[in-house]
A and B are shown apart, each in its own frame.
Chain A
Amino acid sequence: MRRRVPVSLILGAVITALILAVALLSFVWTPFPAEQIRVVARLRPPGPEHWLGTDHFGRDVLSMIMVGARNSLAVGAAAVALGAAVGVPLGLAAASWGHWGDEAVARLGDLLFAFPAVLTAILLTAVLGAGAVNVVLALGVFNAAVFARVTRGAAFSVWRREFVRAALALGRGPLSVTIIHVLPNVAGVVIVQATVLFAVAVLNEAALSYLGLGIQPPSPSWGKMLGDAQTFLFTAPLQAVFPGAAIALCVLGLNLLGDGLRDVLDPRHRSAPVI
């Protein structure tokens, strides 16, 4: 019998693909150059020339949102990649070592969880200055803790399975068992978590850019656009609507995709994600 594809998976994939397409399109085409300042056209409402209006520097909001999508996705992807590159091997190692190694990884996780991503980013910014690289670093550190914890839990249950015991009995070493048998069996959980953390990273990047600690001008970012728009709430209220809607749509798409993937790849765990 064919399994039904979850609605959330379809909806999430469509929204995410749409955002990704917009981000990729921005490399070759935007209605106007996203960083082009035209003071004479400042704070224009949406119209035929500027579909979503212009900001206080006369920059085209639609073009900025398109380039902002590229920046948000790039930061999110980098933060997830960094987190996975550090956290997944740590989680696998913890499950493989057991006892002291596992204890050390668990305590490291506790320590990293003490610093919510925004707090870590603020800490790094205080020393290294604001910028996208520091945001990736801060979000990556937090993601690594989540990946390590999730991978460790999933890997533990795989280590108890009979085929793993059989492989050990046949003389395979822990490293070989981890790579050949454990890793493929935890991949589904890791992929689901990656999608969820991608969404969290997009939200946090936007928050940090809103505070001026993330992506730096003149490169557009959704969070910074919201920060700028707040100053002109009385004169151009719509400027505060579009970038926020873009963030919400992107996060919604990724969350739905994560939920859908969880149902397909990991049907035993249909509860809320770790984050």
Chain B
Amino acid sequence: MLAFLVRRLLTLALTAWLATMVVFAVLEVVPGDPALLMLGTQAQPDTLAALRAQMGLDQPIPVRYLRWVGGLLTGDLGTSLTYARPVADLVAERLAITLPLAAMALVLSAVIAIPLGLTAASRHGRAGDWAVMAFGQVGIAVPSFWFAILLILGFSVKLGWFPAGGFPGWQAGAGPALKALLLPAVALALPEAAILARVTRSAALDTLREDYVRTAWAKGLRRRTVLIRHVLPNALIPVATILGLQCAFLIAGAVVVENVFTLPGLGRLLYQAIGQHDLIVVQSVVVLLAMSVVVVNALVDVAYAAIDPRPRVRT
């Protein structure tokens, strides 16, 4: 296990390093003059010169890269051109919305999907199973941002139960803040729940064929007891893996859904930074999101290896 951990850690470090190189190359090397790209061709020469100096563009590319990576490691992400504030502060503020949103979506998808998947497996080939499979197909096909718009239409425009967008801030209290996050979380959770329900069903079907489950049935245990005590723990291994991997899709989904609900999260910050040509913000946010995907993938691998020894053996 130790050798696997060391190998996985090295892979993680290599991928993270390559990811920083890609982001730096795309945003700082490819455009030629990032300052010109940010300020536009109509910018005054002295303004351009000031920005070039602020970004250190007079330095050689390797020096700029090392300074940027050094800043990433120490939490200095530079200063936003648009907001005239440290990017680290902006990111911290926005994470206070995006992280709870992603966590709510993840919990919601698990809460919806696991019981559905288990029910479908226990009613294999019957109406309940077909219904869950149909939910899975439709849930995957429905774009989260369209579902988000439909939720606004139903629950905000027609019923007026939830705000159509915006965020009151945590200082307004947990109640109003969570209320503002609920519809976006539901919109994000639907496709994830659909995938997870299918995976749970498939894993539970495999477990239901095991001898010890047959023994449990033979003992006369109730269906609920068999499913929860004997099937669920074993079916949870692939489910947990998929749940971890879905974090990457939640991050991408959050960029879109936050814009539907005009939530001032990390995704909206990134989207606005593109419109404002604020490459300093784009660079930091993209690399942070990519890092989070890399780290979550590594954690999933390690968790999986801890449960199931097969991935530790190199093929």
Interface size class of B (residues with CB under 8 A): 35 or more
Count chain B CB atoms within 10 A of each CB in A116, A125, A127, A249 and give the residue with the most.
A127
**Binary interface encoding of chain B residues 145-170 relative to chain A, with 1 for a CB under 8 A from any of its CBs, else 0:** 11001101100010000001000000
A119 touches B274 (CB 8 A): no
B232 is an interface residue with CB less than 8 A from chain A: no
A262 to chain B, nearest CB (A): 13
**Binary interface encoding of chain B residues 22-57 relative to chain A, with 1 for a CB under 8 A from any of its CBs, else 0:** 110011001100000100000000000000000000
Give chain B residues whose Cβ lies under 8 Å from the Cβ of A1: none
A113 touches B141 (CB 8 A): no
- How many of chain A's residues have a CB under 8 angstroms from any CB in B? 44
Give the residue of A115, A213, A223, A234 whose beta carbon is less than 8 angstroms from that of B290.
A115
Task: List residues of A (172-215) whose CB comes within 8 Å of B's CBs.
Answer: 199, 203, 206-207, 210-211, 213
Give chain A residues whose Cβ lies under 8 Å from the Cβ of B253: 118
**Binary interface encoding of chain A residues 208-238 relative to chain B, with 1 for a CB under 8 A from any of its CBs, else 0:** 0011010000000001001001100110010
Looking across the interface, which residue of chain A has its beta carbon closest to that of B136?
A272
B141 touches A251 (CB 8 A): yes
Bound: A119/B248 CA distance, A? 10
B142 touches A248 (CB 8 A): yes
Give chain B residues whose Cβ lies under 8 Å from the Cβ of A124: 26
A119 to chain B, nearest CB (A): 6
A252 is an interface residue with CB less than 8 A from chain B: yes
B279 touches A230 (CB 8 A): no
Give the residue of B137, B149, B279, B297 whose beta carbon is less than 8 angstroms from that of A240.
B149
B37 touches A127 (CB 8 A): yes
B263 is an interface residue with CB less than 8 A from chain A: no
**Binary interface encoding of chain B residues 246-276 relative to chain A, with 1 for a CB under 8 A from any of its CBs, else 0:** 0011011101100110000000001101100
Looking across the interface, which residue of chain A has its beta carbon closest to that of B250?
A116
Dominant SS at the A interface? helix
Give chain A residues whose Cβ lies under 8 Å from the Cβ of B18: 107, 111
Using known A-B contacts A117-B252, A272-B195, determine if residue A244 contacts B149 with beta carbons closer than 8 Å: yes
A240 touches B15 (CB 8 A): no
A114 touches B149 (CB 8 A): no
Give chain B residues whose Cβ lies under 8 Å from the Cβ of A123: 23, 26-27, 282, 286
B141 touches A234 (CB 8 A): no
Using known A-B contacts A248-B141, A252-B141, A272-B195, determine if residue A207 contacts B15 with beta carbons closer than 8 Å: no
Count chain A CB atoms within 10 A of each CB in B30, B259, B297 and give the residue with the most.
B259
B198 touches A272 (CB 8 A): yes
A34 is an interface residue with CB less than 8 A from chain B: no
A255 touches B202 (CB 8 A): no
Give chain A residues whose Cβ lies under 8 Å from the Cβ of B256: 118, 207, 210-211
B195 touches A107 (CB 8 A): no
Looking across the interface, which residue of chain B has its beta carbon closest to that of A103?
B11
A-B contact pairs, 12 of them (CB 8 A): A107-B11, A107-B15, A110-B297, A111-B15, A111-B18, A115-B19, A119-B289, A124-B26, A229-B149, A240-B149, A255-B137, A272-B242
Q: Which positions in A face B, CB cutoff 8 Å?
A: 107, 110-111, 113-119, 122-127, 156, 199, 203, 206-207, 210-211, 213, 223, 226, 229-230, 233-234, 237, 240-241, 243-244, 247-249, 251-252, 255-256, 271-272
Top-4 shortest CB links A-B: A244-B146, A116-B252, A252-B141, A251-B141
Known: A111-B18, A113-B293, A230-B149. 4 other contacts (CB 8 A): A123-B26, A226-B145, A244-B142, A248-B146
